[in-house]
Homo-oligomer: A and B are copies of this chain.
Amino acid sequence: MAQPQQSDGSGGDKPPLRVGMVGYAFMGAAHSQGWRTVGRVFDLPRRPVLAAICGRDAAAVRAAADRHGWAAAETDWRTLIARDDIDLVDICTPGDSHAEIALAALAVGKHVLCEKPLANTVEQAEAMTEAAEAAHRRGTLAMVGFNYRRVPAAALARRMVAEGRLGTLRHVRVTYLQDWLVDRDFPLTWRLRKELAGSGALGDLGAHIVDLAQYLAGERLAGVSALTETFVPERPLPGGPTSGLAARSAAGTGQVTVDDAALFTGRFLSGALASFEATRYATGRKNALRIELNGERGSLAFDLERLNELSYHDGSEPSTHAGFRRILVTEPDHPYLDAWWPPGHGLGYEHTFVHQARDLVHAIAEGRRPDPSFADGLQVQRVLAAVEESAEKNSVYTPITI
């Protein structure tokens, strides 16, 4: 009979990458799942350790630590980033605190993963990008969390565009449709307050689709023309802690200070046309991030509500047999998929965070700038700023600052 073989279940003797996370709501839970799972699925050069989690409410953060598997809990992010046993700070707070935390963390040599949007203002994003560039020269790395790049179907789309399968790009159209504000009684959570969230659908959903559109197209927007709207300007005050997209209301009302919806059109530097719509009022659409790219040689389409699928039209097929095909993005030769399940056994939303963690660990181990960098996050911020400027100036076409 064989001796029982002891294992610490830790994933082996690779050098650890000790993560400290700030924030423990929706994004905190999602990032925790990513950090906890990534080393169990992918072969990584370093072993992620869930070292400490940080939040202002001591009891709540302790509960979150237990729930999500973090070894320690902190109530002040300054303490967290000062800890010796932290290599990377993962920022999952609302946008108003991103800059301060990220700058401080980079300053003390911690790698940073910062949730999107990078910041609430271009100025903050510029400062962060400058700090990230400086940190990079010292070997400290920074990434912004546009996790949808890590949906395998989106990564496959990028690869196919890069292979030239679309040819000269003509059109990119993107919507990000949700409906959780349709009810006029939904309360005034932090996401509806400009001082915390920076903007509304624009920063939350629009940031995602601007990044994804540029990522997939492989090029940047030159300018935009925009309309924004706040359909319901006053809402009940929230009645307690909110989490995710759910909330209760209390007595009293307050002003919604962000956009409910943002529509914009634009031109890519190559001359391709783009259209964008971000809204929280599309009744029945829960998470409909839909993007389609039309090029001279082919087209691609994707819908986040069916995230294991990519739709592809190969324009070189004879017309008798041509058509949009539904690629089930679950094959071992699809991005990230060799580590997962057999064909047809799909992944979910949370896996984007596993893949994000994987790519960041590799970048850190190899000392190369992660993708998307803070510079990418800044550029998205500049697009959003141009959107806001255009919306304020009667929709006039507004170039993106470079």
- From B178, B292, B299, B332, A344 is in contact (CB under 8 Å) with B178
- From B79, B166, B349, B395, A265 is in contact (CB under 8 Å) with B395
- From B74, B264, B341, A5 is in contact (CB under 8 Å) with B74
Q: Is A327 an interface residue (CB 8 A)?
A: yes
Q: Is A193 an interface residue (CB 8 A)?
A: no
- From B9, B52, B75, B287, A70 is in contact (CB under 8 Å) with B9
Q: Is A368 an interface residue (CB 8 A)?
A: no
Q: Is A46 an interface residue (CB 8 A)?
A: no
Contact A74 B347 (CB under 8 A): no
Which residues of chain B have C-beta atoms less than 8 A from A4's C-beta?
A: 52, 72-74, 79, 83
Which residues of chain B have C-beta atoms less than 8 A from A402's C-beta?
A: none
- From B1, B11, B261, B344, A305 is in contact (CB under 8 Å) with B344
- From B12, B70, B261, B320, A273 is in contact (CB under 8 Å) with B261
Q: Is A138 an interface residue (CB 8 A)?
A: no
List CB contacts (< 8 Å) of A68-103 with chain B: 68-76, 78-79, 83
Q: Is A192 an interface residue (CB 8 A)?
A: no
- From B74, B78, B275, B348, A277 is in contact (CB under 8 Å) with B275
For chain A, give the interface size range: 35 or more
Q: Is A22 an interface residue (CB 8 A)?
A: no
Which residues of chain B have C-beta atoms less than 8 A from A394's C-beta?
A: 396-397
Q: Is A235 an interface residue (CB 8 A)?
A: no
Q: Is A67 an interface residue (CB 8 A)?
A: yes
Contact B331 A320 (CB under 8 A): yes
Residue of B nearest to A36 (CB): B40
CB within 8 Å for A283 and B265 given contacts A6-B72, A76-B2, A344-B288? no
Q: How far is the CA of A30 from the CA of B37 in the complex (A)?
A: 12
Contact B328 A325 (CB under 8 A): no
Q: How far is the CA of A185 from the CA of B302 in the complex (A)?
A: 30
Q: Is A65 an interface residue (CB 8 A)?
A: yes
Q: Is A33 an interface residue (CB 8 A)?
A: yes
- At the interface with chain B, which of A104-112, A128-136, A225-233? A225-233
Q: Is A61 an interface residue (CB 8 A)?
A: yes
Contact A281 B33 (CB under 8 A): no
Contact A282 B294 (CB under 8 A): yes
Contact A305 B346 (CB under 8 A): yes
Binary interface profile of A, 303-330, with partner B (CB < 8 Å = 1, else 0)? 0111110101111001111111111101
Q: Is A296 an interface residue (CB 8 A)?
A: yes
Contact B323 A65 (CB under 8 A): no
Contact A66 B11 (CB under 8 A): yes
Residue of B nearest to A225 (CB): B395
Q: Is A285 an interface residue (CB 8 A)?
A: yes
Contact A327 B323 (CB under 8 A): yes
Residue of B nearest to A246 (CB): B332
- At the interface with chain B, which of A169-177, A248-256, A373-381? A169-177
Which residues of chain B have C-beta atoms less than 8 A from A184's C-beta?
A: 296
Which residues of chain B have C-beta atoms less than 8 A from A160's C-beta?
A: 321
Contact A299 B275 (CB under 8 A): no
Contact A345 B341 (CB under 8 A): no
Contact B296 A283 (CB under 8 A): yes
11 chain-A/chain-B pairs, Cβ below 8 angstroms = A180-B343, A225-B395, A227-B265, A283-B295, A283-B313, A286-B330, A286-B344, A319-B332, A320-B327, A346-B348, A348-B351
Q: Which 9 A-B pairs have the closest CB atoms?
A: A287-B344, A286-B344, A284-B313, A325-B325, A348-B348, A225-B395, A323-B325, A345-B349, A2-B75
